[in-house]
Amino acid sequence: MSPHEIPRSVPRTENDALIEAAVMSTEPNLLEPGKVYGWMTPAGRVEKIDLTGDQYRDHPKRKTGTVTVRDVESFGQYWDKHADGDFAEVYADIDNDRVTAVLDAHGSAVPGWHSHHLVYTLRRTDAWKTWTAADGRLMGQVEFAELLEARLPDIAEPDGADLLELAQTFQATTNVSFKSGTLLANGERELVYSEQIEASGGRGRKLTIPKGITLMIAPYEDAAPMPLTGRFRYRIHEGSLRLGFVLDRPAEVLADAFDMVVGKVETRIGVDVMRGVPA
């Protein structure tokens, strides 16, 4: 129905014919967007036309929607353009690796709509995901060696060359029988294994595993590399060797990295970030 037309709320009857004819003969009026119009029908019912919606405007009445960015600088750029003084606030949620700005939150004296959000979802690095996925899991010698070789740049200690040599040894000793392990004075583990030369016997050898490992990795893409330590673990079962490591307090390292990124956000936008989730 065109806003210039008068709705026919009551069917044409003999008694109402003259009234309806008079109404229809009236010149149409142009309705103004942004207002609500109402009138009483001949049947006594109230009709209305609501022209307050955004579809009747050249521009929306207010900003709405959720924008997601991938780094601190992009967060800052959108904030600079859309944050509105007393009505903008920011929350950091470590459980979801997320920083959220509510750009139309409640002001100190005037309530806000809470419908315009800026979300920065922190992305964990491949290095962090790879090492934490392997945390506490015992692997076969080849799988463990491949992990060390693939992520060698992440390892600060032991020396890369020594660890590469150890990885190559793991790959070369898959057809041997491991006998026992001894804890050395420096904390390293010495494993004894034998290579079967003939059916009657074998030649005994030793393999030394370092006490621990120190990684230097960035948990998040916007964070700086941080030290993450771990301890090597092994298990010998029926001559077969399985290896792995246990990381020391990875959750604390992740929390420190999250705080580092949140600090960058605070510096970029000049606003203190609250810990929590917006309503």
pLDDT per position as a tens digit, 225-277:
999 999 998 888 777 888 899 999 999 999 999 999 999 999 999 999 999 99
Query: Does one domain contain both 133 and 117?
Result: no
Mean pLDDT for 62-78 is 95
Query: For the chain, what's the residue count?
Result: 279
Cα distance between residue 261 and residue 94, in whole Å: 11
Greater model confidence, 197 or 52: 52
Query: Does one domain contain both 168 and 181?
Result: yes
Give the per-residue pLDDT at 4. 47
- DSSP letter for 30, please: P
Q: Which domain-ending residue is among 61, 79, 105?
A: 61
Number of domains in the chain: 3
Query: Does one domain contain both 53 and 117?
Result: no
Lowest mean pLDDT among 31-40, 177-186, 217-226: 177-186
Give domain status of residue 74, yes or no. Answer: yes
Query: Does one domain contain both 244 and 131?
Result: yes
Query: Does one domain contain both 136 and 239?
Result: yes
Give the per-residue pLDDT at 192. 72
Residue whose C-alpha is closest to residue 92's, from 226, 278, 232, 218? 278
What does the angle CA 124 – CA 227 – CA 133 come to, to the nearest 5 degrees? 45
- DSSP letter for 57, please: S
Lowest mean pLDDT among 21-25, 50-54, 81-85: 21-25
When mean pLDDT is compared over 24-28, 157-161, 269-273, the highest value belongs to 269-273
Mean pLDDT for 150-166 is 89
Domain, as residue range, for 200: 126-248
Percent of the chain with pLDDT over 70: 82
Query: Does one domain contain both 164 and 235?
Result: yes
pLDDT band at 204 (very low <50, low <70, confident <90, very high): low
Give domain status of residue 263, yes or no. Answer: yes
Give domain status of residue 253, yes or no. Answer: no
Query: Does one domain contain both 135 and 184?
Result: yes
Q: Does position 202 have pLDDT exceeding 60, yes or no?
A: no
Give the per-residue pLDDT at 199. 35
Query: Does one domain contain both 158 and 189?
Result: yes
Q: What is the CA radius of gyration of the chain?
A: 35
Give the per-residue pLDDT at 25. 66
pLDDT band at 203 (very low <50, low <70, confident <90, very high): very low
Give the per-residue pLDDT at 231. 94
Query: Does one domain contain both 197 and 158?
Result: yes
Query: Does one domain contain both 107 and 152?
Result: no
Q: Which domain-ending residue is among 32, 61, 90?
A: 61
Give domain status of residue 137, yes or no. Answer: yes
Give the per-residue pLDDT at 20. 67
* Average pLDDT value over all residues in the chain: 84
Give domain status of residue 204, yes or no. Answer: yes
> Which residues neighbour 276 within 8 Å (Cβ) at sequence distance 6 or greater?
91, 92, 93
Q: Which domain-ending residue is among 61, 88, 108?
A: 61
Q: Does position 23 have pLDDT exceeding 80, yes or no?
A: no
Give the per-residue pLDDT at 116. 96
Q: Does position 104 have pLDDT exceeding 90, yes or no?
A: yes
Give domain status of residue 150, yes or no. Answer: yes
Using one digit for the tens of pLDDT, what is the confidence trace for 161-176?
A: 888 888 787 777 767 7
Strand, coil or helix: 19 = helix
Q: Does position 200 have pLDDT exceeding 50, yes or no?
A: no
Query: Does one domain contain both 155 and 80?
Result: no
**Which residue shows structure tokens 């998040």?**
220
Query: Does one domain contain both 148 and 106?
Result: no
Mean pLDDT for 17-45 is 74
